[in-house]
Structure 1
Amino acid sequence: MTRLVAVLSAFLLLAGCAGPDLAKRTFPRSTIPAAVGNATATTGAPTTAKAPVGQPVDPVFAADRLRLVDPCAVLAEELLDELGEPGVESRTGFSRCSNFMKDGSGKDLAVTVEIGQTMTVELADADKQLAGLRSHEQTLDNSACFVSVITQEQPGLGISVQIGYKDGDACAPGRKVAESVVNQVKARKGVITPAKGSLITLDPCALPDAAAVEAAVGREPDVFPYGLHNCSWAGKDRELTLDLRRTFVPDDRKFDDAQTEVDLGGGVKGYQVSARTSFPSCEVTWVQRTEADDEGEVVRVKSAGPEEVEFDRCAAAVGFAKALVGKIPRA
C-alpha cells in the first residue's frame, strides 16, 4: 500500500471527522472560494506578495490569533441589518457561525462565516482582491456563493463566507460580509478570552509528541493540518486524526450507542467506537470541559487504514489518546 493511497484517504477521513454540519450548510470541503468587495474588487491578477511558509500575509492573521476570534461576533448584527432581517445565530464548532435570515423582501438569506478555513483550490484560483488580500469567488447552482479571502498561502488558510440566496445575486452580499469580517479581524474585534482548560488555543499539529505520532502511524508521516483545530498524520498504510471541537455533550456521555468506556489515565474516561467499512477505523472521544445547555469541548482521536491492512486500530487510538491526555491542561 503506497503512501499516496494513504494520503488520499487522509482527506476523506478529515471530511468525515469534521463533525456534524448545520442542516443548511453546503460548504464544499476543499473547494470553497473567496471573493471581492464592492469598490475594492478587481479582476486582474493580485499583486500581494507571498508570505514565507507557515506565516500569514499579515501578523494579525496568525493562526494563534484567528483561533481566538469569535465567528458570531464578527458576523456583526449592524451589517446583517443592512442585508435584511437577521435571524437567530447558529454556532458550529469554534470557528463557524451562521445566521438564517430574510432579505429586505422577505426572501431567505443564509449567511455563514468560517474563520481559519483550509484553502486549496481557492488559493490556486484566487484571481481577485478583497480588503487588500487575494480572494476567490465560486457560485453553486445560482443559489449559493462562496467568498474566500486568503490570509496564509503556505499552507493555504483563510476566511470564508457562504451565502445561500435563491433568485438573487448571492455574491453581492457575500463580498460585503467578507470585507466586513476581514476588517473586523484586522481591527482585533470579536477576540475572546478563553475559559480555563479550553481547547480553543491549542495547535493540534504541534500538540502531540513525535514519539506518540510515530507509535500510531509509523516513522516520518505526512502531516495535514485542516482548519485551525484538526490535524491528520498519514503513514505508509495507516493514518491518524486529532480533532479538537466545541460540540453537543450529552449528560450521559452517550456519544454513540456502540461505544465502550476506556480508561485514559489521570481520571479521564474515554469513549471508544469502531467502524467496519472499506476503510475501518476506531475513534476515541473524551470530554475536556462542559458548558451550559449541553455544550462543551471534546477531543476526538481516530485511527484508520485500508481494510486489507491488519493492525489494531483501537490500540493505536487509545495509545495516542493516553499520550495526549497529560499534555492538555484540564479545566
Structure 2
Amino acid sequence: MKRPVAVLSAILSATLLVAGCAGTDLAKQRFPRTTIPANAENVADPTGTTGTTGTAAPGQPVEPAFAPDRLRLTDPCELLDEDVLKGLGTPGDVSRSGFSRCSNFMTDKAGKDLAVTVDLGQTMTSEIKNADKQLAGLRSAEQTLDNSACFVSVITQDKPGLGITVQIGYKDGDACAPGRTVAESVVAQVRDRKGVITPAKGSLITLDPCALPDAGAVEAAVGAGHRTYPYGLHNCSWVGDGPELTVDFRHTFVPDDREFDEGQTEVDLGGGVKGYQKAGATAFPSCEVKWVQRETGNDEGEVVEVKSAGPEKAQFDRCATAVTFAKVLLAKIPKG
C-alpha cells in the first residue's frame, strides 16, 4: 500500500536531495547505506583538539547541552520559534521528518517561498574542515547551492563530528542570512532546554544504536577488527574486511498491510514480533530486515532496520546474518 504524496512531502524530498550535496548525506540519516563515506569518523580511533573556541575533547560535546543523549530528547519542531519565523515572513505548518528533523514551508515578507529546515545531531565531516566562522559561540560553516539554498551548520562535537544544521531554501535573496538567524535561535533554545520531550515507554528515540548491541554480536556479524561508524543520532554501521552491518532507528510511515517493500518476505523474530526481509541483488549485495517496534498513530510508527551487506566476493549469507542480528538487537530494546 502506498501513502499519498502531499505537496510538502515532495518539496521536502527535493530539499533533502539538495542537502546531500552540502557535505552531509542526509539521505543516510533516514536509510542505511551499504558503503561508508571515506571521510566518516571511526569511533574506534578518535583524535581531536582541545583548548580552542567551540572545540572539545574527542567524543565530548562542546557544551553539556549538546550531548547526543540530550539532542535525542529534543523536539526539533519546538526549536522553530514562531516569533523568529514571523520576523522572516509568514510561517506555514510544520512538517516533521523522522526523530530529529523538522521543516516549515513558509513565505517571506513579499510572499515568496521560503523553506526552513532544522536537523539535530547531524554527522559533520566536511563541515568541520570548513568551519571558519563563529555563530552563537560555536564554530560554524556555511555552504550555498545554486543561489537557491544555504546550509548553516554549527559544530557541537568532534571525533565523531556532530552538529546542528539549518537549511534554507530561498531563490529570491540571500538564503544564508535567514539561516544564521534561525540557527542562532535554535542554538539558544537548545541551551535553554527548549523542546525537551518525555519519551514514550519503549520508544527507540532514547537509544544509541552504536552502544546497544553486544560486542560479540557485532563481531559475529562483521568479524573481529571491525570499524564503528555512527551516523547522526539514530544510525550506526560496523564495517569489517568484507561484511558490513547497519542499524537504523526511524520514525516513519507504517503501511496498514506492513508492505514496506515489494517482494519482501515475513520472518519470525521471536516473542510474537514479525520482521520483513528483503534481499538486494546489486553489485554490493545486501539483505535488510525491518520491524515495527512501536506504533504511534496516524499510520506512523518507530521502525528498526538492520542491513547486512558486502561485496560480491564476500561469501556469506546476508539474510541469515541480518535476521540473527535482528533477533539479538530486539532482545536488547526495552519493551513498551
Give the Cα separation in 1 of the matches to 2:204 and 2:83: 30
Q: Secondary structure at the match of 1:146?
A: strand
- Establish whether residue 24 from structure 1 lines up as the match of residue 14 from structure 2: yes
Give the Cα separation in 2 of the matches to 1:80 and 1:171: 14
Shift of 1:21: 9.5
Shift of 1:49: 5.4
**Could you report, residue by residue, the CA deviation over 1:125-170 in whole angstroms, capped at 9, with x for unpaired residues?**
1000000000000000111000000000121100001101002100
- Establish whether residue 286 from structure 1 lines up as the match of residue 276 from structure 2: no
Q: Secondary structure at the match of 1:212?
A: helix
Give the Cα separation in 2 of the matches to 1:32 and 1:171: 17
Aligned ranges 1:58-77 → 2 under 5 Å: 58-77=63-82
Of 98, 106, 115, the residue aligned with 2:103 is: 98
Shift of 1:329: 1.3
Tell me if structure 1 keeps the 8 A contact 2:22–2:151: no
Q: Secondary structure at the match of 1:122?
A: helix
Shift of 1:30: 6.8
- TM-score when normalising by structure 1: 0.88
Tell me if structure 2 keeps the 8 A contact 1:30–1:118: no
**Corresponding residue of 2:230:** 225
What residue identity is the alignment partner of 2:114?
Answer: L
Give the Cα separation in 1 of the matches to 2:23 and 2:178: 20
CA RMSD of aligned residues (A): 1.6
- TM-score when normalising by structure 2: 0.87
**Could you report, residue by residue, the CA deviation over 1:215-255 in whole angstroms, capped at 9, with x for unpaired residues?**
11111210000000000000001100000010001111111
Tell me if structure 1 keeps the 8 A contact 2:280–2:286: yes
**Could you report, residue by residue, the CA deviation over 1:5-28 in whole angstroms, capped at 9, with x for unpaired residues?**
xxxxxxxxxxxxxxx993232212
Tell me if structure 2 keeps the 8 A contact 1:32–1:138: no
Shift of 1:330: 2.0
Tell me if structure 1 keeps the 8 A contact 2:157–2:163: yes
Of 165, 171, 174, the residue aligned with 2:170 is: 165
Give the Cα separation in 1 of the matches to 2:101 and 2:119: 4
Q: Secondary structure at the match of 1:190?
A: coil
Aligned residues: 300
Relative to structure 1, the CA distance from residue 21 to residue 253 in structure 2 (aligned partners, 3 Å threshold; closer, same or farther) is farther
Aligned ranges 1:1-331 → 2 under 5 Å: 22-25=12-15, 26-28=18-20, 31-32=23-24, 47-48=52-53, 50-331=55-336
**Runs of 4+ in structure 1 displaced over 6 angstroms?**
none
Gaps of 5+ in 2: 1-9, 26-50
Gaps of 5+ in 1: 1-19, 34-45
